[in-house]
Amino acid sequence: MGKPTGFIEYQREVPADQLPGDRIHHWDEIHLPLAEDKLQTQGARCMDCGTPFCHTGTLLSGMATGCPVNNLIPEWNDLVYRGLWREALDRLHKTNNFPEFTGRVCPAPCEGSCVLGITHPPVTIKSLEYAIAERGWQEGWIVAEPPAHRTGKQVAIVGSGPAGLAAAAQLNQVGHWVTVFERADRPGGLLTYGIPNMKLDKQKVVSRRLELLEAEGIKFVCNVEVGKDLPTESLLKDFDAVILCTGATRPRDLPIAGRDLQGIHFAMDFLTGNTRHLLAEQASPTLRDREQHGSFITAAGKDVVIIGGGDTGTDCVGTALRHQCNSVAQLEITPRPPIERAADNPWPEYPKVYRLDYGQEEAAAKFGNDPREYLTTATHFEGDDRGNVAAVHTVSVRWEQNESGRVVPQPIPGTEKVRPAQLVLLAVGFLGPEQPLLDALGLDRDPRSNVQTPVGQYTTSLPGVFAAGDCRRGQSLVVWAFKEGRGAAKECDAYLMGSTDLPD
């Protein structure tokens, strides 16, 4: 601990973002760097607690407490304070294959469980992680490191999202030949098509890591859907082991009257199409070339209603604003969170408090208010004479116990509203993984339709087939996917070799 009194002497300071009114006119990342001396000061605020909760990675009240990949946070905070950036990067890479991703998109459960946060603003852990990773790329410390020896074992990974990439990196590191199958036209899964460019730049950040993984020997096969373009029999025959990292991509629908109207879309279709269109524009900037890539869902000039919250809803807000929508409203059926922790949400649980995320901040800058409307639900959609959605009918709700004792939303008479909408985006969560591939493999499923594995393990009911990420645990954070991918890789390596030296 380099500065025993640092947490007393220095105030929390986070890097600024570009002004909301400016950044909605482009798709570049919105973060601005923090000066090195200020980063070192922030590292000095770490208390080097006797019992640090920041890297525990446990679940409390259903949410992450501390870092799921068990980052050695106090150690690299101290190294940053001392100016030992290379050593900080080495320590960070011991537990996290891709800190440049988590440093951008993770909601930082580590900060929610920081011991300093009991009485003071917590350490800026996420900002320091981001800075360490970017310093590594800028200095040329992050380079391809192919394994010195190959085992001759062939491993197939289905899905190139966060879990798939983490599993691939770990297994390649110990010398297995790894082939990653991706049904989209580009690898990266959620990192490429699920998270908008202003949060995670595809060309500058995602592509550089994918290119490095390829240089290390990992093979990516895109435009191939296993079970459709590649028979599952071939997969099992040609590879010594398989890891399923297909995600939880079945969206939850909202089956109310008018759902079949044109202009009502799942949020991920909107976000994926936008990123695909943006990448096509960057590759072929002329109008003629852009038209060749087909249409996408645009919010330009429209009144947009987003039903649902969370990161997906926020990303829809930010994307719609960059399309120059006419207005945007976000409906959330839950109550507005409190400004400070509630009594039933104590430290070190993740703090469920009211905050303006980047999308809501941008909407407030453009339209004058937070677009979220809490305790509100849609009752039905209204269309025009051409079959297009024209309005959303809503009602306010209160949460009450029903006859069976469950707390459910109840409509409040007299609170009905009609909101104009030419585009409605459904961001109400996911139901689990798509089932055809799991059916073809004959895998056991849990009650939520996820791939069934023993508690704390990644082995499926089919020997040699493993599962990791959202298809095993349900929809979750990117950092949990990294943890799962690493865990599945360790089990897979032990299955192939009889033992393993891979860490969790």
150-190, pLDDT tens digit by residue? 999 999 999 999 999 999 999 999 999 999 999 999 999 99
Q: Would the pLDDT of 70 be above 90?
A: yes
How confident is the model over 413-462, as pLDDT tens digits? 999 999 999 999 999 999 999 999 999 999 999 999 999 999 999 999 99
How confident is the model over 319-350, as pLDDT tens digits? 999 999 999 999 999 999 999 999 999 999 99
Domains (range + CATH), the chain: 6-139 (1.10.1060.10), 154-249+432-497 (3.50.50.60), 253-428 (3.50.50.60)
Residue 236 in contact with residue 168, Cβ under 8 Å?
Answer: no
pLDDT reported for residue 59: 87
3-state secondary structure of 292: helix
> Quick one: what percent of the chain has pLDDT higher than 70?
97
pLDDT reported for residue 288: 42
Amino acid symbol at 103: G
How confident is the model over 388-400, as pLDDT tens digits? 999 999 999 999 9
Beta bridge partners of 398: 410
Q: Would the pLDDT of 307 be above 90?
A: yes
**Beta pairing class for 303-307 and 327-331:** parallel
Task: Write out the DSSP string of 155-219.
Answer: EEEE--SHHHHHHHHHHHHTT-EEEEE-SSSSS-TIIIIIS-TTTS-IIIIIHHHHHHHHHTT-E
Contacts of 49 (CB under 8 A, 6+ apart): 74, 115
pLDDT reported for residue 487: 98
CA 270 to chain CA centroid, nearest Å: 16
Closest Cα to residue 313, out of 324, 302, 304, 301?
304
Q: What angle do CA 7, 13, 15 make, to 5 degrees?
A: 145
Distance in angstroms (rounded) separating the CA atoms of residues 381 and 392: 5
Residue 197 in contact with residue 27, Cβ under 8 Å?
Answer: yes
pLDDT reported for residue 286: 59
Residue 191 in contact with residue 161, Cβ under 8 Å?
Answer: yes
Average pLDDT, the chain: 95
Residue 409 in contact with residue 333, Cβ under 8 Å?
Answer: yes
Distance in angstroms (rounded) separating the CA atoms of residues 214 and 435: 29
Contacts of 207 (CB under 8 A, 6+ apart): none
Closest Cα to residue 433, out of 478, 472, 480?
472
Beta bridge partners of 455: none
Contacts of 254 (CB under 8 A, 6+ apart): 307, 378, 426, 428
User: Taking the complete model, does pTM exceed 0.85, yes or no?
Assistant: yes
CA terminus-to-terminus distance, the chain: 26
Which one is predicted more confidently, 296 or 255?
255
Scanning 239-326, the segments in alpha helix (DSSP H) are: 267-283, 287-292, 310-322
In the structure encoding, which two tokens stand for residue 366, read together?
């453009």
3-state secondary structure 389-421: EEEEEEEEEEEEECCCCCEEEEECCCCCEEEEC
If you average pLDDT over residues 494-498, what whole number do you get? 98
* pLDDT band with cut points at 50, 70 and 90 for residue 295: low
Task: Write out the DSSP string of 442-454.
Answer: T--B-TTSSBP--
Query: What angle do the packed helices 85-93 and 73-81 form, to 10 degrees?
Result: 170
Q: Would the pLDDT of 217 be above 80?
A: yes
Residue 344 in contact with residue 365, Cβ under 8 Å?
Answer: no
